Structure 1
Amino acid sequence: MGTRLAHQTALITGSTSNLGRAIALAYAAEGAHVLVTGRDPGRGAAVVAEIQAEGGRADFLAADLSGSPAAASEFATRATEMLGGRIDILVNNSGAIGGRTTTDTDEAAFDQVFGVNVKAPFFLTAAIAPAMAAQGGGVIINLGSWVARLGIPIGAAYAASKGALETLTRAWSAEFGPAGVRVNAISPGVVHADTEGHPAAAMMKGTPYGAIGKPEAIAQAAVYLASADSAFAHGTVLDVDGGRIGVAVMAS
């Protein structure tokens, strides 16, 4: 096991699968006490068992963060208690996708996307960041998306919500950074645990990487942003996207 996050506690929302699970495993492997959260206790228990089997520390807390300020505050209190009275690292990873196009996205779907992707992290950060400042510092990492800055013809509500979260990253860095709370974001490209024959693979054509990425790539970026290695990084969005946003590969 590594030591880059030794003696740190980490709350990762939506960490029973995919990116959140990979981040939880990576944090635990670097010495952090991880609180795995999600709606499915069975999947949560499986991630905790996987971490503990490797000698790491982890617990599970069921959560359905839909955007309610009261729910976020209660969740923050319970999470803090389970992590021994302090949260050093908060990863706002939970996400919802609703509606493919603007015209087929009804109000309920729109509200769900913004509730989970914007309101929930907003009020969870509001509940946790002041406590981080009071304890001398902390780290907040938001999970954005490449579609926040490169328009595609589907998922407009999702793209807008991730754009809002990236903007909040900069705003929170200005608000909480002077008190010792570092706030940054990761913007993943198309990432999935199962890369074989995935229908979204076409979205990575024309990039240097040329294929879907693995969740572990995002997890390693999250380790960097949570560790002292990134002490000079504030209010930034780290693109870990195989070159999707910044590079076009010209066909020969």
Structure 2
Amino acid sequence: MYQDKIPKNIAEAVKWTNDIKLSSPSIFEQDTFEPLTFKPTENLVDVCFIARDILNRRDSDEIVLISKAVNTISTQGSSLLLTLLKSDECRESVYSSEGRSLYFLHHFFDLSSLKIKHLVWSEVFAVLTLMQCAQVKFQAEKDYADDELSKALKQYIESHALQQNAEIADSLARAEVLADIQTTQKSSSRKGGQTKADKYLPLKDAVIGLFVKKYTDCDNKRAGAIIEAELIEQNNEYLKLSNSQDKAVQFATWISHFKNKKLKLSIIL
């Protein structure tokens, strides 16, 4: 299984991008690509039908939000993804389809932070599938100029149609498999005992956010101490959420949990 190839402490090598709170515009924010009604190209009609069936309890606004989350995860997790792919010694290249990339990264992100009721990962992959189908439709309908550059671009896109279809099939397959195993799974990916700890979430996100941006080369204890000092210097309002007498130790514990995928980072759009 893919997840078995992910080293437990892989996050130690991660260098995340600075614009972690940004996401690319969603293709579904264009008037001609309403996610539940746009007409796909002929060869993708069945694919869209299956993806929309998986999303049968979602409205368009929710799907747009999920699509923006997909873009955010891709942006935030780009360095992490590269580290994960390089960790597989059997791979000769670090190329990964969009579906496989999202599969690798979904272990590190918390869907409950999106505040979409009962959202599960199979639905996220179904949205990715629809996004890819919409992109194919967009490219098919695009008008190209007669200059040599435009002709070359059109030829390139047409030559990669088979690869696009393979990527879409990969995304849909992951959505269907996850739908089968998540039918009884609750929306929150957080495990038991987290209800009491919910009050700490903003502080945890602040701590882990600083860790992945600046201090992955430090051990847990040192990173916890540095982050505590930095938050104090910032007069961070979330520090008051913790009554711990030794916040550096508390922060070090959270960092350890993140490295071992027991604590996940909120998706901030």
TM above 0.5, one fold? no
Structure having the higher strand fraction is 1
Please give the TM-score of this superposition, normalised by the length of structure 2: 0.26
If you compute each CA radius of gyration, which structure gives the higher value, 1 or 2? 2
